[in-house]
Amino acid sequence: MPTRTRHWSHPVAGTRSGHRTDLSGLAAVALLPLLAAAIIPGVLPGGAAGVDVLFVLSGFLVTSVLVSEWTRAGRITLLTCYARYARRLLPAAALVMAATGPLILTCLPRSSWPDAGWDLLTGGLAVLNWRRAAQDAAVPTVPDAAAGVLAHYWTLGVAGQVLLLWPPLLAGAAAWAFHRRHHDPRRAPLLVAGLLTAGSLAWAVGASGAPAVFGTHTRLWELTLGGGLALVALRPVGLPRSVAAVLGWGGLAAVTATVFLHRPESAGLAALPPALGTAAIIVAATARTGPSGAGPAGTPTTGAGPVRILATRPLRAVGRHCYPLYLWYWPLLVAAHARFGEVPVVAGLGVLGAAALLAVITHRYVEAPVRARVRGWSPAETLRTAALLPAAAVIGGLLLQLGVWPPRQPHPQPVAGTAPAAPTPSPAPAPGAAALGRSPAESPAGRPVARVRSITPEPVDAGRDLPHVYRHNCFSTGPDAPARACVYGDRGSRFTVALAGDDQAANWVPALQAVAQAQGWRLITYLREDCPFLDVAVAGPGGGRLDACARWYANVRTELTRTERPQLLLTTSRRYPLTSGGKILSGDAAHKAFVAGMRRTWSGLVAARVATVVLRDTPAPGVDVAACVSANPTRLTRCATPRRTALDASAGAAQAEAVRTLTAVPLIDLNSAICPASRCAPVIGGVLVYRDTRHLTATYARTLAPRLASALERIRGETAP
């Protein structure tokens, strides 16, 4: 694309491929917190800030190369630009995706294969960020199978989509400036970069949840911020050496401080400190310096600020291999966690050493040779070949997701049927909780063992062993949060039992269906997956109150106290982060607020003449039990969690404390039939207890029906006039 023929000195354009030793060191500073957070969980709660640094730095370097072409040739050729991206990014990314297939098959439990297949498919198509947004996922920091073996490829998705958009916008702005004969042709591109940065940042600040974290529209501002800096650097600003030093050190301090601080979310306003810190470092490094800001254009501040530290040999070495190291470290750590369980720090360092070795090999024997080999190709040839590189990952991911390959192995016949329509468990010798007898704590059936004869449901299918409310779309959704209800049991019965709560409350639906069917009761459910049925201020993104939860609670309470007025209300929930004064509560303050909210809610319902019963929250193992059992069919004891740990992770203790002073609110505690021993067994009576980290399988929940029926009958007898 033609533009003015005047060429400006550019501090990055004059280097090979935009390479700068100090900025290579900055890439290392961004990557190291990500690596540390992955092998030592909790040590760097803000380690994900490294992603923000990499986005800004990528925007600067990519735009610098575009500006280099613009100032050298007077035009930006889009095909050449895209071919350059393909040569730089695709070989290593395709290699790691290809290597991930064998890791999935050999290390991950079979129950994780469909999700891993989707990751391969969407990673190959560079849209994994939107998959994670749809999953309502968090930025991956703990490398386990549940997080996804290619979860870190979401950043490549964002960058790839921006790289498709940014060059034509920049070329169009440059062409417009040329035709308008602007004295400063940077003005129009800078205006475009500024508008995109401001608009995307405003969108990110107003958004919430996973779309705000993973959306290209809410991350665009970080890359265009770096792009704008590259345009400004066409005519480097003049800064006194002392000012440049303060700016550079301040930026590095902002980046460093962010990785040590917990961030309630990793986008929007929370991403500003590391992004602006990175921008400050880049400005300080590209400014003209001297005693009063004078000096040759583009002279780096080698004598001031953090430039000398960033340009040290160790950081440069890490920065030089930053991209392949970033690609390799995550799948290797996920595979190690899935295969061997918790990975000690020393073993984690060994895995990172293997990732570093693979990164060096990838850089030396894949990236560099490929770039040298295709340098003489035409852009069209390069792009045609590049389109084939992710094909294997896409095809392999599709086959894994569909379950076509590899073929399923035969499994033992289950002890009981798992048809979701069955209101009660199929007849079988002591299935599930029935095997525990009258004294679960003393029963050997509740103790973890290494292997069992058969497991129902099969661990690979546990994720589909759900209560009917999932299939019947019984959960309230959306910001308006209506009191959506589903009815089961005898619809014409005069005795109505209501269940209100979150996804933990949904755990009890299979057991309640069986009880309602046997007793001739009408069962009505009011559920919302991400909200407790409590008068509490649930914390949303940034520490504010989650208004949808408050509206849903109010709508359901109105329905229960004015319209339905059930004879019995059952409720439970898991723990939630609470907020007060715009800050998320923690520690003892959070516990007291949770207990106070429970008492306020339940006493208010009793005062409104709604008989309320609390179902104690079930133990939360904290590990994906189904995935663990699938990976360890002859070592099931590896999937057992200490009972105290599982109980402490649940809301049960807070519930027990809340009802202690509420004599009219009984508490039903069936945890002795879920985790009866000192360690929670993953399989009891031939039935898989949990389908994930905290939710019961529908099959096991049904086996609790007799115990739940007895508890409800006792409560009705005690409260009868």
CA-nearest of 704, 115, 92 to 400 is 115
- pLDDT score for 206: 80
Tell me the pLDDT band of 73, cut-offs 50, 70 and 90. Answer: low
Question: Strands 496-501, 568-572: parallel, antiparallel or unpaired by DSSP?
Answer: parallel
Q: What is the pLDDT of residue 323?
A: 93
CATH of the domain at 558: 3.40.50.1110
For residue 467, report the phi and psi dihedrals to the nearest 5 degrees. -60, 155
* pLDDT band of 545, cuts 50, 70, 90: confident
CB 58 within 8 A of CB 23: no
Q: Measuring CA to CA, which residue among 619, 628, 635, 627 is closest to residue 449?
A: 635
Which residues, 6+ apart, have CB-to-CB distance to 586 below 8 Å?
none
- Is residue 86 located within the same domain as residue 217? yes
Return the axis-axis angle of helices 49-73 and 272-286, rounded to nearest 10°: 40
Q: Which of 273, 272, 280, 276 is nearest to 243 (CA)?
A: 280
Rounded Cα gap, residues 531 and 410, in angstroms? 40
User: 520 and 660: one domain?
Assistant: yes
Query: In this structure, are residues 682 and 636 in contact, taking their beta carbons and an 8 Å threshold?
Result: yes
**What band does 108 get if pLDDT is binned at 50, 70 and 90?**
confident
Question: What pLDDT does residue 489 have?
Answer: 92
Say whether the peptide bond before residue 406 is cis (omega within 30 degrees of 0).
Answer: yes
Q: Is residue 410 part of a domain?
A: no
Total residue length of the chain: 721
Burial status of residue 490 (CB atoms within 10 A of its CB: 0-12, 13-18, 19 or more): middle
Task: Say if residue 173 is in the same domain as residue 248.
Answer: yes
Query: Is residue 524 in a domain?
Result: yes
**Cis peptide leading into 457, omega within 30 of 0?**
yes
Strand-pair partners of 486: 525
Q: Which domain holds residue 239?
A: 21-402
> E strands of 426-475, at which residues?
none
- Choosing from 371, 402, 433, the residue where a domain stops is 402
Highest-confidence segment of 4-13, 268-277, 380-389: 268-277
Residue 448 belongs to a domain: no
Residues 376 and 498 in one domain: no
Q: Can you tell me the distance from the alpha carbon of 361 to that of 680, in angstroms, rounded to the nearest whole number? A: 44
Domain membership of residue 656 (yes or no) is yes
Is 274 found in the same domain as 347?
Answer: yes
CB 665 within 8 A of CB 595: no
Residues of the chain above pLDDT 90, percent: 44
DSSP sequence for 154-215 = HHHHHHHHHHHHHHHHHHHHHHHHHHTT-SSTTHHHHHHHHHHHHHHHHHHHH--HHHHHH-
**Total domain count, the chain:** 2
Residues 55 and 188 in one domain: yes
Candidates 473, 448, 369, 460; CA nearest to 414 is: 460
> Where do runs of H (alpha helix) occur along 534-586?
547-558
Local structure of residue 408 (DSSP, 8 states): P
Distance between CA atoms of residues 433 and 303, nearest Å: 72
Tokens of 574: 């898991």
Strands (E), 457-610: 485-489, 496-501, 522-527, 568-572, 579-580, 583-584
Per-residue exposure over 645-660, b if at least 16 CB sit within 10 Å of its own CB, e if not:
ebbebbbbebbeebbe
How much is the mean pLDDT over the chain? 83
What is the per-residue pLDDT for 716?
Answer: 82
**End residue of a domain, out of 402, 429, 449:** 402
Contacts of 58 (CB under 8 A, 6+ apart): 159, 223, 226
Which residue do the tokens 């960033």 mark?
310
Mean pLDDT within 228-236: 82
Flag whether 629 is in a domain.
no
Q: What is the pLDDT of residue 402?
A: 65
Quick one: 378 and 513 in the same domain?
A: no
End-to-end Cα distance, the chain: 88
**Percent of the chain residues topping a pLDDT of 70:** 85
Instruction: Tell me, yes or no, whether 534 lies in a domain.
Output: yes
Are 106 and 252 in a shared domain? yes
Indicate if 491 and 389 belong to the same structural domain. no
Predicted confidence (pLDDT) at residue 271 exceeds the cutoff of 70: yes
Average pLDDT of the segment spanning 154-170: 92
User: Residue 265: what pLDDT?
Assistant: 61
pLDDT tens, 582-621? 788 888 899 999 999 999 999 999 999 999 999 999 999 9
The answer on pLDDT for 421 being more than 50 is: no
**Would you say residue 142 lies in a domain?**
yes
Q: Where are the beta strands (DSSP E) in 390-508?
A: 485-489, 496-501
What's the burial of 419, exposed, middle or buried (CB within 10 Å: 0-12/13-18/19+)?
exposed
pLDDT band (50, 70, 90) for residue 290: low
Domain boundary among 362, 382, 402: 402
Task: Summarize the confidence of residues 538-556 as an average pLDDT.
Answer: 83
Domain-embedded: residue 655: yes
If asked whether residues 220 and 117 sit together in one domain, one would say yes
Whole-number pLDDT of residue 406: 46
334 with 147: CB under 8 angstroms?
yes
Orientation of helix 21-39 relative to helix 241-260, angle to 10°: 20
Q: Which of 113-122, 244-253, 522-531 has the lowest mean pLDDT?
A: 113-122
